[in-house]
Structure formats: structure tokens, C-alpha cells
């Protein structure tokens, strides 16, 4: 694998860069993309985030000025980089067609993934990092860019969301050291960002949440908790697919539950998210169905 220094050098040599967060972009994927885009633009680079789905309501403050939704909006692309993901299926066929047209292909991630068949020129993955935002923060420092207020906000978003507000087992001393440095940025305050992320759910989402929690199924003496959201149910409350991902945390918070599962119906697909409160490796289950993620 390459070093961050080598990746930084390659980015400095590129003029036009396009970033590709994963489908159903979360706070880490979108926040990391926005932070890196902001830094690269400060170096005089042409950089955009190509994302062709709706963005979750609680993430609508993250770099809207950087996002393009159609490939025709991309003037030129020398360097494509997947952010917080790896593989064609993680960005979808439409965006992958744009991704692979660049002369240089890259990936910045922190998930354990099977060996890819994509011929990346620059692949950097830190499975021990709590969030891709941690990696991007270190990369931005390697680029020699200042950590501006906007960059600090986006890095904070990535870290707080992917660590479950610092409660997940992936949280490390380095995670806290990076966050400590964010507080050194002038005018940075975490509370307003936390309010945007966690404290402005719409009434329809609250009603949907109550329905899901009332109809949970439990298995193996309550060790496994499973919630289901049908497309009809979600649409009846006016809720977007990307706004329900937090529900798995609500299942995981129930006393006695070690493995939480949220099953979601979306158009012609059934998706499942899994989380483990113990040492059980839920990633191995996901991989058996062609998915992946954290242990």
C-alpha cells in the first residue's frame, strides 16, 4: 500500500480531481469528501464531489457548493478517488462509468474489503482508523493545507457519526487527539454541528421510529434484535431511505441485545445493516451476501 505522503504528492500533481462517496452517503463518507474537496480547492485544484442521490436531511449542511449530481457537470477529470468505500457496487454503475474514465484511479477507505479487481493507482486503507475522516485529516495535513473552520466541521462530522458519538469500539486515542486539534481552530464549536446531525428529526421520522421499535423481533434469548422498514411504511411517513440508518443504533441500545439488524426495503432491493455490541464479527455475515464493513 502507498503512504499518505505519496498520495499527497500525487494529488498535488493533479489539476482536476473528482471524489466519489459511497451510495447512501453517511456523515463520514460525505464529511470526508467535503473536507478533502475544500482542502484541494485551497491549493488551486479543480475539485468536485460527484453524488447522484438525495442527501440525508441531517447532512444537508455538508458542502453543497462542492456537489455535482450529473456527470455532464464535470468539466475534466484527471484523478478519481473513492471516499470511504471500495468497489464498483459501492458507488453504483452510473458513477463508476465516470470514475473509471480518469487517467488516475484512487481510493481512501477504512473498511476491511476483499481484494478489488479495480486497478487502483493509489489505494490507501486504514482498517484501524475509527473513520475515513481521520485519514483525510492526516492527508490534509500532509498536503500542507490549513485546517479551516469548514474543514474542521466536516472532519468532526465524519468522526462523530462513524464512532457513534465516540461510543463505538473503533474509537481510539488518535481519534480523540485529532478532535482535540479541531478545537484549536478559531470559532470551532461541536455543539451546533451535533444539533444539525442529531436533533432535528422530522415528525414523520419520529412516528416511523416508534412503529419500528414497537414491532421488533428478538432471537436467541434477546441477543439478536431485528427491525424492519418497508418501502410503503417509509413513504407513508414521508421519510427518505437515507434518513433511517440511525434506527440500528436504537435497536443496539436495548439491554441484552448483542447483534442488531435493520432490514430495509428500497424499490426492488432488500438491504440489511448489522451491528455488533460484542466481539461477534458481523462483517463476515455481510461478506457472505456480497457486502462488507466493520467487524
Is pTM, for the whole model, over 0.75? Answer: yes
Q: What number is the average pLDDT over the span 165-169?
A: 88
| Mean of pLDDT over the chain | 94
* Residue 52 near residue 70, CB atoms below 8 Å: yes
Q: What number is the average pLDDT over the span 160-175?
A: 92
Q: What number is the average pLDDT over the span 185-208?
A: 96
Of 219, 120, 134, the C-alpha closest to 170 is 134
Share of the chain above pLDDT 90, in %: 83
**pLDDT reading at 9 higher than 70:** yes
**pLDDT reading at 2 higher than 70:** yes
- pLDDT digits over 63-76, tens only? 899 999 999 999 89
**pLDDT reading at 30 higher than 90:** yes
Q: Distance between CA 290 and CA 288 in Å, rounded?
A: 6
* Residue 216 near residue 81, CB atoms below 8 Å: no
The secondary structure element, H or E, covering residue 17 is: strand 16-21
Q: What number is the average pLDDT over the span 184-199?
A: 96
Q: What number is the average pLDDT over the span 117-145?
A: 95
- pLDDT digits over 51-107, tens only? 999 999 999 999 899 999 999 999 899 999 999 999 998 999 999 999 999 999 999
Instruction: Render 65-110 in DSSP notation, one character per residue.
Output: GGEE-SGGG----SEEEEES--SGGGT-HHHHHHHTTSSEEEEEE-
- 277 band by pLDDT with thresholds 50, 70 and 90: confident
**pLDDT reading at 115 higher than 70:** no
Q: Kind of pairing, strands 259-266 and 269-276?
A: antiparallel
Amino acid at each position: 500500500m502507498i503512504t499518505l505522503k505519496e498520495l499527497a504528492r500525487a494529488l498535488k500533481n493533479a489539476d482536476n480531481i473528482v471524489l466519489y462517496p459511497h451510495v447512501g452517503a453517511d456523515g463520514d463518507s460525505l464529511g470526508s469528501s467535503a473536507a478533502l474537496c475544500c482542502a484541494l480547492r485551497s491549493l488551486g485544484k479543480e475539485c468536485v464531489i460527484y453524488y447522484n442521490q438525495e442527501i440525508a436531511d441531517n447532512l444537508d449542511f455538508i458542502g453543497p457548493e462542492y456537489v455535482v449530481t450529473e456527470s455532464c457537470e464535470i468539466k475534466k477529470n484527471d484523478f478519481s478517488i473513492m471516499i470511504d468505500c471500495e468497489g464498483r457496487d459501492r458507488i453504483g454503475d452510473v458513477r463508476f462509468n465516470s470514475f473509471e474514465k480518469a487517467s488516475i484511479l484512487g481510493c481512501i477507505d477504512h473498511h476491511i474489503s476483499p481484494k478489488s479487481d479495480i486497478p487502483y493507482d493509489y489505494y490507501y486503507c486504514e482498517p484501524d482508523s475509527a473513520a475515513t475522516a481521520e485519514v483525510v485529516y492526516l492527508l490534509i495535513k500532509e498536503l500542507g493545507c490549513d485546517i479551516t473552520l469548514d474543514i474542521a466541521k466536516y472532519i468532526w462530522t465524519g468522526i462523530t457519526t462513524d464512532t457513534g458519538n465516540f461510543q463505538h469500539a473503533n474509537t481510539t486515542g488518535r481519534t480523540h487527539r485529532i478532535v482535540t486539534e479541531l478545537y484549536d481552530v478559531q470559532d470551532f464549536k461541536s455543539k451546533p454541528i451535533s444539533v444539525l446531525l442529531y436533533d432535528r428529526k422530522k415528525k414523520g421520522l419520529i412516528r416511523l421510529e416508534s412503529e419500528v421499535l414497537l414491532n421488533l423481533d428478538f432471537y436467541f434469548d434477546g441477543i439478536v434484535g431485528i427491525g424492519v422498514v418497508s418501502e410503503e411504511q417509509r413513504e407513508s411517513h414521508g421519510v427518505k431511505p437515507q434518513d433511517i440508518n440511525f434506527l440500528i443504533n436504537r435497536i443496539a441500545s436495548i439491554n441484552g441485545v448483542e447483534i442488531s439488524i435493520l432490514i430495509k426495503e428500497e424499490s426492488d432491493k432488500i438491504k440489511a445493516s448489522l451491528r455488533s455490541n460484542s466481539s461477534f464479527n458481523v462483517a463476515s455475515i455481510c461478506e457472505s451476501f456480497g457486502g462488507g464493513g466493520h467487524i
